[in-house]
Structure 1
Amino acid sequence: MTAENVLAPTPAAAYRWRWPALTALLLGEAMNLLDATIVQVAAPAIHADLGGSVSDIQWFTTAYTLPFAVLLITGGRLGDIAGRRRLFVIGVTGFMLASAACALAPSVGALIAFRVVQGAAAAVIIPQTIGLIKTMFAGDEMSKALGSIGPVMGLAAVCGPVLGGVLTHADLFGSSWRATFLVNVPVSLVVLGLARKLPENRAPKRPTLDLTGTLLAALGVGLVVHPLIGADITAMSAGSWAAIVAGLLLMAVFAVHQRRMAAAGRSPLVEPSLFAHRGFPAALVTSATFFAVTNGLMTVIVLQLQLGLGTDVLKAGLTLAPWSVGLAVASWAAGAHLVRRHGHRMMSLGLAVLLVGELAAIAVYHQADPTSYPTPLLLALGMVGLGVGFFSPAFFTIALKPLKPQEIGSAAGLLNAVQQLGATLGVAVLGSVYLDGAGSGGPSAALHAVQVAFWVAVGLVVVSFVTSRPMTGKDAPEGAGVHHDPGVHRAPSQPGP
Structure 2
Amino acid sequence: MSTTETPQSVALPESPGVSARRAWAAVGVILIGEIMDLLDSLVTTIAGPTITRDMGGSQEFIQWLAAGYTIAMAAGLLIGGRLGDKYGRKNLFLVGLAGFTATSLVSALATNPETLITARILQGLLGALMVPQALGIIRSVFPPDKVAVAFGVTGPAMALSGVAGPIVAGWLVDADYFGWGWRMIFAVNVPIGGLALLAGFAVLPRSTRQKDLRIDVVGALIAAAGMAAVIFSLVQGRELGWPWWVFVLLAAGVGALAGFVRYQIQRAAKGLSTLITPSLFGKKAFVSGLSVGILFFSVMMGGALLFSLFFQLGLGMSPLKSGLATIAQAAGMLLGFGFSQALGMARRTMFLGFAAVAAGLLAALGTIAVQDDPVNAWWLSPALAVVGIGSGLAIAPFFDIVLSGVDEEETGSAAGTLSSAQQVGNALGASVLGTVFFSVLDGERGHGASAFTTAASTGLLVAVAFVAGAALCTLWLPERAVRHVEV
TM above 0.5 = yes
Matched, 1:93 2:98: yes
Quick check: 2:345–2:480 contact (8 Å CA) kept in 1? no
TM-score, normalising length: structure 1: 0.90
Displacement, 1:377? 0.6
- What letter matches 1:338 in structure 2? A
Which string of whole-angstrom CA distances, capped at 9 and with x for unpartnered residues, describes residues 330-367 of structure 1? 22553xx336x352221111111111111111111111
* 2:461 counterpart residue number: 455
Quick check: 1:233–1:433 contact (8 Å CA) kept in 2? no
* 2:394 counterpart residue number: 391
**Partner of residue 110 from structure 1, selected from 96, 115, 122:** 115
**Does the C-alpha gap of structure 1 residues 54 and 338 become closer, same or farther in structure 2, counting only changes over 3 Å?**
same
**Does the C-alpha gap of structure 1 residues 300 and 79 become closer, same or farther in structure 2, counting only changes over 3 Å?**
same
SS in 2 for 1:422: helix
- What letter matches 2:263 in structure 1? H
Matched, 1:167 2:172: yes
Displacement, 1:252? 2.1
Which string of whole-angstrom CA distances, capped at 9 and with x for unpartnered residues, describes residues 104-124 of structure 1? 001011100100110011101
Quick check: 1:73–1:127 contact (8 Å CA) kept in 2? no
Give matches, 1:314-353, under 5 Å. Answer: 314-334=320-340, 337-338=341-342, 341-353=344-356
Quick check: 2:437–2:458 contact (8 Å CA) kept in 1? yes
Displacement, 1:13? 6.5
* 2:427 counterpart residue number: 424
Matched, 1:126 2:131: yes
CA distance in 1, matches of 2:287, 2:219: 19
Displacement, 1:65? 0.6
CA distance in 1, matches of 2:239, 2:464: 17
- What letter matches 2:107 in structure 1? C
CA distance in 2, matches of 1:54, 1:232: 10
**Partner of residue 253 from structure 1, selected from 247, 259, 262:** 259
- What letter matches 2:231 in structure 1? V
Structure 2: state its 5+ residue gaps.
1-12
- What letter matches 1:450 in structure 2? A
CA distance in 1, matches of 2:71, 2:64: 10
Which string of whole-angstrom CA distances, capped at 9 and with x for unpartnered residues, describes residues 72-125 of structure 1? 020111001000010000000000000000000010111001001100111011
CA distance in 1, matches of 2:418, 2:273: 18
CA distance in 2, matches of 1:231, 1:382: 34
- What letter matches 1:22 in structure 2? V
**Partner of residue 183 from structure 1, selected from 179, 183, 188:** 188
Quick check: 1:150–1:332 contact (8 Å CA) kept in 2? no
CA distance in 2, matches of 1:462, 1:347: 12
Aligned residue pairs, count: 468
Displacement, 1:191? 1.8
CA distance in 1, matches of 2:15, 2:61: 49
**Does the C-alpha gap of structure 1 residues 366 and 75 become closer, same or farther in structure 2, counting only changes over 3 Å?**
same
- What letter matches 1:284 in structure 2? L
Which string of whole-angstrom CA distances, capped at 9 and with x for unpartnered residues, describes residues 140-182 of structure 1? 3211112222201111011101001000000111110000001
CA distance in 2, matches of 1:206, 1:26: 30
Matched, 1:158 2:169: no
Quick check: 2:70–2:424 contact (8 Å CA) kept in 1? yes
SS in 2 for 1:416: helix
SS in 1 for 2:28: helix
Matched, 1:284 2:301: no
Give matches, 1:372-451, under 5 Å. Answer: 372-439=375-442, 440-441=445-446, 442-451=448-457
* 2:10 counterpart residue number: none
TM-score, normalising length: structure 2: 0.92
**Does the C-alpha gap of structure 1 residues 272 and 158 become closer, same or farther in structure 2, counting only changes over 3 Å?**
same
- What letter matches 1:463 in structure 2? G
* 1:495 counterpart residue number: none
SS in 1 for 2:373: coil
With a CA cutoff of 8 Å and minimum separation of 6, indicate the structure with the bigger relative contact order.
1
Quick check: 2:325–2:377 contact (8 Å CA) kept in 1? no
Matched, 1:138 2:167: no
Which string of whole-angstrom CA distances, capped at 9 and with x for unpartnered residues, describes residues 359-393 of structure 1? 11111111122324332211111111111111112
Quick check: 1:330–1:390 contact (8 Å CA) kept in 2? yes
Displacement, 1:482? 4.6
Matched, 1:197 2:200: no
Q: Please tell me the root mean square deviation across aligned C-alpha atoms, in Å.
A: 2.0
**Does the C-alpha gap of structure 1 residues 431 and 78 become closer, same or farther in structure 2, counting only changes over 3 Å?**
same
Which string of whole-angstrom CA distances, capped at 9 and with x for unpartnered residues, describes residues 406-454 of structure 1? 2111101101111101110111000110011112342111101100000
CA distance in 1, matches of 2:484, 2:339: 13
Which string of whole-angstrom CA distances, capped at 9 and with x for unpartnered residues, describes residues 244-300 of structure 1? 011112222212211111111111111111123220000011111001111101101
Quick check: 2:225–2:253 contact (8 Å CA) kept in 1? yes
SS in 2 for 1:236: coil
**Deviating more after overlay: 71-80 vs 13-22:** 13-22
Which string of whole-angstrom CA distances, capped at 9 and with x for unpartnered residues, describes residues 442-483 of structure 1? 2111101100000011111111011111003xxx436xx658
* 1:490 counterpart residue number: none
SS in 2 for 1:448: helix
SS in 2 for 1:270: coil
Which string of whole-angstrom CA distances, capped at 9 and with x for unpartnered residues, describes residues 217-268 of structure 1? 1111111110111544997321111110111122222122111111111111
Quick check: 1:353–1:387 contact (8 Å CA) kept in 2? yes
Displacement, 1:190? 2.8
* 1:33 counterpart residue number: 38
Displacement, 1:324? 1.6
Quick check: 2:289–2:473 contact (8 Å CA) kept in 1? yes
**Does the C-alpha gap of structure 1 residues 234 and 51 become closer, same or farther in structure 2, counting only changes over 3 Å?**
closer
CA distance in 2, matches of 1:471, 1:72: 24
SS in 1 for 2:203: coil
Quick check: 1:11–1:138 contact (8 Å CA) kept in 2? yes
* 2:8 counterpart residue number: none
- What letter matches 2:157 in structure 1? V
